[in-house]
Every structure is written in structure tokens, then in C-alpha cells.
């Protein structure tokens, strides 16, 4: 069985720390740029899908016209039959 010398262990630890801090710096510098690029791409896809959905419709009213849509009257039936009231008495 081979044993690792102290210099080899320190070398591995140093490489791991350099990679960790290097990635941390790269993410700090290029993270916002990458995030901005991803958000632009998502925004373009959203615009394309929305414009495809909106193209099929024609405007129903001319600009400046006002229309008021009334809600249909709904009659709610109230439930007066809520049950029987029972008065409880404390027993000593």
C-alpha cells in the first residue's frame, strides 16, 4: 500500500481550493451576464407565443367605443335548514 506524503496532500488541497475560488469568481463576474442572456431568450419565446395567440383575433370594437357587459343575475338559495340547536348543560 502506498502512503501519500505531506506535500502531495497539500498539493491536492491547494488545487481544490484554487478550483473552488476560481469558479466562485467566474460565477460572480459572468453570472449576471449569463442570467441576462437566459432571461432575454425566455422573453423572446414568450413574445413569439403571445403574438401567435394574438394574431388570430381581430379587434371587436373600434378605438374609442365603450361597451358595458352586465353580469347575469344569479339567485342564491339560502339554506335556512342549518340543523337543530342543542343546549348543553354542565353536569357536576
Does residue 23 contact residue 29 with C-beta atoms inside 8 Å? no
pTM summary value: 0.41
Q: How far apart (Å, rounded) are the C-alpha atoms in residues 40 and 4? A: 50
The reply to whether 30 falls in a domain is yes
The reply to whether 91 falls in a domain is no
Q: Tens of pLDDT along the chain (92 residues)?
A: 778 899 999 999 999 999 999 999 999 999 999 999 999 999 999 988 888 766 655 556 678 888 777 887 777 766 666 677 777 788 87
Write out the residue range of the structural domain in which residue 37 sits: 1-55
Q: Which run of H or of E encompasses 6?
A: helix 6-55
Q: How many domains does the chain have?
A: 1
The reply to whether 3 falls in a domain is yes
The reply to whether 37 falls in a domain is yes
Residues 6+ apart with CB under 8 A from 67: 61
Amino acid at each position: 500500500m502506498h502512503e501519500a506524503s505531506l506535500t502531495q496532500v497539500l498539493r491536492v488541497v491547494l488545487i481544490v481550493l484554487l478550483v473552488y475560488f476560481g469558479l466562485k469568481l467566474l460565477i460572480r463576474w459572468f453570472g449576471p451576464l449569463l442570467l441576462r442572456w437566459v432571461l432575454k431568450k425566455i422573453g423572446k419565446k414568450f413574445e413569439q407565443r403571445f403574438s401567435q395567440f394574438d394574431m388570430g383575433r381581430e379587434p371587436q370594437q373600434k378605438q374609442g367605443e365603450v361597451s358595458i357587459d352586465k353580469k347575469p343575475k344569479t339567485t342564491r338559495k339560502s339554506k335556512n335548514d342549518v340543523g337543530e340547536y342543542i343546549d348543553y348543560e354542565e353536569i357536576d
